[in-house]
Structures are given as C-alpha cells and as structure tokens.
Amino acid sequence: MSTKIMIVEDEPALQATLSYNLEREGYQVEVVGDGVIALEMAQKLQPDLILMDVMLPGLDGLEVTRILRQKLNAPIIMLTARDDEIDRVLGLEIGADDYLTKPFSMRELLARVKAQLRRVRLIREEVQAAESPSEKLLTFGNLSLNLTRREASLHEEVIALKPKEYDLLHYLMEHRGQVLSREQILEKVWNWDFSGGSRTVDVHMRWLREKIEPDPTTPRRIITVRGAGYRFEG
Ligand code: CA
C-alpha cells in the first residue's frame, strides 16, 4: 500500500507542482484547497502525512492543524508564506511537526517529507517491539531468530539465509528436541511444493549446518537421526 499524502493548499500552481513531484516519488496524493474540506478529507482519507498551507479559505491552516492534531497522529508540515506566519506556527504550539517557508525547493520539501515519514516509521517499530517482545525473537543460546524481520543471527551477527533456509531453521527451532522426518519437514516447510524429494531436505540441512554449526562435520545443533530424520538441539 502506498503512502498517502494530503496537500492542503489553495494556490493552483503550487498544488500542481507539489502533486507532480510527490506522485513521481511514488506517493498517493490528495489535494484540498479549503480548510473546512481539509478537516473532512483528513478523517476520511487517514493520510500518512499532511502538507498544510497557513493561509487558506474556509478555516486557516493553523486552526485546521490544531483540530486535526487531536484526532490524527500523521505528521503535519506547515507551508508558510510570511515571517509573521512562522512566528505563529512556532509560537502557538499547534502541533505541527515541521515547517517550510515559501518559496522552497522541491528537493528540500521531499527531504522533509521523507524525514517525517521515517521518524513515524521508527516510532511505530519501537512501539511494536515493546508491545510484542515475545513474538519477536526465538533464541537458543547464541542462535537467534527475529521473526518480525525474518532474520537469523549467530553471536549477534546476522547470517545470510535463503528464504527456505530461514523457514527450515524456524521449523527446527520451534520443534527443538523432536525427531522430525524428512516427509514431515517437506510437508511443513516446502508445503509439498518441491522437486527432488527428501534430497531437498538433506541439501538444505547441509547448507544450514555450514552456516550455524561451529564445525559442520560434527553437527551439534542439527542432528541426523538414523532412519528417522533430524532433531534440532538448541
Ligand atoms: Ca494560501
């Protein structure tokens, strides 16, 4: 889903320039030229970021921002035309996240937009991590899987795994201590969607051993159980 940006600006030339440049960056853009309509649209659209002109027909940008701030968490960048507007933006604590003084370059605007979106994304990731710490990691000794990022690490260093190697390791770690047959592994990890049969499992086990075993020739983690399959030992 693309990032939605709402532009609240009444000047047609600036509306066009802003939309053109933001759309070219891959953002989904909605333009509104009136303060009252901006309030309605913001609720309906739930934008990821808002560019807000100060001088607007209907209701001015400062008032719109103040009201929106109580309902939306999306960053708001104010677009100001005059020095006295900057003073009001800064002085009133209306909840804007940044401001740009007209005329501004598109490069500057895009940099500010990206910075705000990045900031929000980082906050969201931190909140998610704090809310679900147990979901995030699966750890045995110095081997750890980050389930959110689909990343494996050994001694806190990320190891490069192919997607199937990751899936396989995840399955093994979730069933630590259990003997798992090749058929069982094929069914769960490959979903029977494979060519090469049980040899596929053996090949992937060998690759995984090379990445997670201190000495792949004498495996301590991925144990071969003769005639039965494999067993993962933490
Ligand atoms: Ca204006």
Q: How far is the CA of 141 from the centre of ligand 1 (A)?
A: 60
Q: 36: alpha, beta or left, given left = phi > 0 and alpha = psi -120 to 50?
A: alpha
Is residue 70 within 8 Å of 47, Cβ to Cβ?
A: no
Q: How far is the CA of 35 from the centre of ligand 1 (A)?
A: 10
pLDDT tens digit sequence for 141-179: 889 898 888 899 998 899 999 888 999 999 999 888 888
Is residue 37 within 8 Å of 68, Cβ to Cβ?
A: no
Stretch 20-44: mean pLDDT:
96
Q: How far is the CA of 81 from the centre of ligand 1 (A)?
A: 8
Fold (CATH) for 137-232: Arc Repressor Mutant, subunit A (1.10.10)
Stretch 181-203: mean pLDDT:
80
Q: How far is the CA of 43 from the centre of ligand 1 (A)?
A: 21
Q: How far is the CA of 50 from the centre of ligand 1 (A)?
A: 15
- pTM of the full predicted structure? 0.57
Per the DSSP assignment, residues forming a β-bridge with 99 are 78
What pLDDT shows up at residue 91?
Answer: 60
Q: Where in the chain is the domain with CATH 1.10.10.10?
A: 137-232
What pLDDT shows up at residue 24?
Answer: 96
CATH of 4-131, picked from 3.40.50.2300, 2.40.100.20, 1.20.120.790, 3.40.449.10, is 3.40.50.2300
Strand order in the sheet with 229-232: 179-180, 229-232, 222-225
Query: Could you tell me whether strands 151-154 and 157-159 are parallel, antiparallel, or unpaired per DSSP bridges?
Result: antiparallel
Residue 17: pLDDT band with limits 50, 70, 90: very high
Q: Which helix (H) or strand (E) holds 39?
A: helix 35-45
Q: How far is the CA of 112 from the centre of ligand 1 (A)?
A: 20
Q: Where in the chain is the domain with CATH 3.40.50.2300?
A: 4-131
Q: How far is the CA of 73 from the centre of ligand 1 (A)?
A: 24
Q: How far is the CA of 58 from the centre of ligand 1 (A)?
A: 11
Q: How far is the CA of 97 from the centre of ligand 1 (A)?
A: 19
Q: How far is the CA of 25 from the centre of ligand 1 (A)?
A: 24
Q: How far is the CA of 84 from the centre of ligand 1 (A)?
A: 14
Q: How far is the CA of 53 from the centre of ligand 1 (A)?
A: 6
Q: How far is the CA of 77 from the centre of ligand 1 (A)?
A: 14
pLDDT tens digit sequence for 62-108: 999 999 988 888 999 999 987 777 767 776 677 788 889 999 999 99
Q: How far is the CA of 60 from the centre of ligand 1 (A)?
A: 9
Give CA–CA dist 8/40, Å, rounded: 12
Give CA–CA dist 55/80, Å, rounded: 8
Q: How far is the CA of 37 from the centre of ligand 1 (A)?
A: 14
Q: Which residue has the higher pLDDT, 223 or 85?
A: 223
Q: How far is the CA of 17 from the centre of ligand 1 (A)?
A: 14
